Structure 1
Amino acid sequence: MSGAADPIARHPIGPRRVAFEWKTTPLHWIPDEPTATHVINVLHLLLPAGERWFVRVLKEGLPLVTDPELRSDVKGFMGQEATHSVQHSYVLDHLAEQRLPTEAYTRHVDFLFEKLLGEAPPFGVPVTAREWLRFRLAVVAAIEQFTAVLGDWVLRADGLDRAGADEIMLDLLRWHGAEEVEHRSVAFDMYQHCGGTGLPRYARRVEGMVVVAPVLAWLWVWGASYLIRNDPELGGRQRYSLGAHNRAVAKGLLPPWRELGTAIPRYFRRSYHPSQEGSLRRAVEYLAASPAARAAAGAVGRAAMS
């Protein structure tokens, strides 16, 4: 969801040491909606490795950041993404306890981020270290375009509440989504800072999105198909289908295709900046109300007073 730049002034970015209790969360945490449940569950398959990779790439580029304000934001971004990775890993453990192991899928995700997008170009591709870092920063910025859009969507997704979605999972998704909106500009700003100047910088930004959009779509369909096919409660009786996906979209349980698709041409505009995405005010309001974030803030306050 796009619009004018958010009216909230500069907002400090930092990790919240949240925790979630998964023991009572059912496998189909959106009742009677296995397709919607597992399409969203793909986040848990992608994010542990993906967000660890974000942290590594930005840490590699951090010495190049000369602006102290941006440097502070990047460090806060890294802390938030590290926390996201850990919390989504716990959901994978919970899925395994419910007889839905995910290693057969996640090992491919690990290979993508650790080998194909690792510190050195794969297969001996003749790219300089500087250009390889710039390309990976462009990839992070492009992925963050989608996480900001998804984060703003889940904060507005009343359909999930109407469907009786599990409160713990909703809090995880909305806490994470709110932080994605909160730091929506950081990866983009770092790329702009470190990515050179002029047309080459813009072309590399476009290249990042051209790579990210189809790969992310492919990973998502593959992940949803994997989860539905291996769901022990479905017993192999169901497969991922576009029809079921679209019915979930119509119920407000998944983001509309148009909302995701229009994020791409927005990103291609030369004048684009992620501050145009979503509502920082909505994100900050949720973070002030989130049970997990409030508990984390209370623990920090108690520790400071002891």
Structure 2
Amino acid sequence: MPFHYVPNEPLATHFINVLHLLLPAGEEFFVKVFKKTLPLIKDDQLRRDVQGFIGQEAMHSQAHSGVLAHFDARGVDVTPFTEQISWLFEKLLADKPRKSLRRQHNWLLEQVSFIAAIEHYTAVLGAWILDSPQLDAVGADPVMMDMLRWHGAEEVEHKAVAFDTMKHLRAGYWRQARAQLAVTPVLLLLWIRGVRFMYSVDPYLPPGVKPRWRDYLDSARRGLLPGPWRLLRVVGHYYRPGFHPSQLGGLERAVDYLAVSPAARASR
């Protein structure tokens, strides 16, 4: 697989690469948290959905870790960035000693609410990657595109599981909105830092080349990346009272892709 799997498009390649930097540690954290929710779930269908969610997230983490191994084989060391992400999930957001069961439960609700907010973003990105023919038109590597679309389709497929679990555990609207307000600026900062980091370690770029906002806007205009207004519009739905992820749609397209995806077949 070429290092710039979107040919001649380092910005698009490295924007997507941030997923590979964030998700191995992130999805391991998701799995740990949702295993703790299983004894608290009284609804049989939701429990089955959570079990499926845990299995899918564990598989996604392994797939993205494989891309990190691909970087390492090219002599690109991403551990300075991924170690920071591991600290975020394994230390900052991890379980903390609590004096009471009530405080432990409240922290679990916070963790689930953070994950539900993140899953909203991954569902939005998943729907976008499933409908991104411009990437194919410019010759994006088909193996990488299949992996991303397989992951994106499963994110769309289970987009409501974390949200439904949050509500089942009686997290209210203000906790939901507060979690999204906390997650949004952190994700934005991590994405900007991640793209800049990948530019700094990219052996195929001339020294001193840096990502520019106008490059991102140009890539978005050409359909190679999700545009800012699309992201703002869809993410804003999360703050509506009465919102549910099923309102985003896209499930039929996701199911259709999973039926033909080589990566999906290999994961079974």
**How far off is 1:291 after superposition?**
1.7
Unpaired runs of at least 5, structure 2: none
Cα-to-partner distance string for 1:200-252 (whole Å, 9 max, x where unaligned): x1110011100110000000000000001110111423111101111111111
Structure 2 residue 112 is matched with structure 1 residue 137: yes
Letter in 2 for 1:113: F
Structure 2 residue 228 is matched with structure 1 residue 257: yes
TM-score normalised by structure 2 residue count = 0.96
Q: Do 1:44 and 1:91's aligned partners in 2 also have CA atoms closer than 8 Å?
A: yes
Supply the distance in 2 between the matched residues of 1:128 and 1:81 (Cα, whole angstroms): 27
Structure ranking higher on relative contact order (CA contacts 8 Å, 6+ apart): 1
The equivalent residue for 1:16 is: none
Q: Do 1:209 and 1:264's aligned partners in 2 also have CA atoms closer than 8 Å?
A: no
Letter in 2 for 1:265: G
Q: Of the candidates 114, 129, 133, which is equivalent to residue 158 of structure 1?
A: 133
Q: Do 1:148 and 1:278's aligned partners in 2 also have CA atoms closer than 8 Å?
A: no
Supply the distance in 2 between the matched residues of 1:72 and 1:59 (Cα, whole angstroms): 12
**How far off is 1:263 after superposition?**
2.6
Q: Of the candidates 118, 143, 147, which is equivalent to residue 168 of structure 1?
A: 143
Pairwise CA RMSD of aligned residues?
1.5
Q: Do 1:30 and 1:160's aligned partners in 2 also have CA atoms closer than 8 Å?
A: yes
Q: Do 1:230 and 1:236's aligned partners in 2 also have CA atoms closer than 8 Å?
A: no
User: What are the equivalent positions in structure 2 for 1:177-256 lying under 5 Å apart?
Assistant: 177-196=152-171, 201-256=172-227
Q: Of the candidates 273, 277, 298, which is equivalent to residue 244 of structure 2?
A: 273
Q: Of the candidates 59, 62, 67, which is equivalent to residue 38 of structure 2?
A: 62
TM-score normalised by structure 1 residue count = 0.84
Structure 2 residue 49 is matched with structure 1 residue 78: no
Q: Do 2:59 and 2:267's aligned partners in 1 also have CA atoms closer than 8 Å?
A: no
Q: Of the candidates 291, 298, 302, which is equivalent to residue 262 of structure 2?
A: 291
**How far off is 1:293 after superposition?**
2.0
SS in 1 for 2:223: coil
**How far off is 1:278 after superposition?**
3.4
Task: Note closer, same or farther for the CA distance 1:288–1:186 as it changes in structure 2 (3 Å cut).
Answer: same
Supply the distance in 2 between the matched residues of 1:235 and 1:120 (Cα, whole angstroms): 45
Supply the distance in 2 between the matched residues of 1:53 and 1:76 (Cα, whole angstroms): 16
Q: Do 2:20 and 2:64's aligned partners in 1 also have CA atoms closer than 8 Å?
A: yes
User: What are the equivalent positions in structure 2 for 1:11-26 lying under 5 Å apart?
Assistant: 25-26=1-2
Percent identity over the alignment is 47
Q: Do 1:62 and 1:71's aligned partners in 2 also have CA atoms closer than 8 Å?
A: yes
**How far off is 1:99 after superposition?**
1.9
The equivalent residue for 2:70 is: 94
Letter in 1 for 2:163: F
| Corresponding pairs, count | 266
Unpaired runs of at least 5, structure 1: 1-24, 298-306
SS in 1 for 2:59: helix
**How far off is 1:256 after superposition?**
1.0
**How far off is 1:68 after superposition?**
0.5
Supply the distance in 2 between the matched residues of 1:104 and 1:116 (Cα, whole angstroms): 17
Structure 2 residue 19 is matched with structure 1 residue 48: no
SS in 1 for 2:124: helix
Identify which range, 271-280 or 215-224, moves more after superposition: 271-280
SS in 2 for 1:222: helix
Cα-to-partner distance string for 1:32-62 (whole Å, 9 max, x where unaligned): 0001100110000000000000011111121
The equivalent residue for 1:12 is: none
Supply the distance in 1 between the matched residues of 2:206 and 2:125 (Cα, whole angstroms): 30
Supply the distance in 1 between the matched residues of 2:152 and 2:209 (Cα, whole angstroms): 29
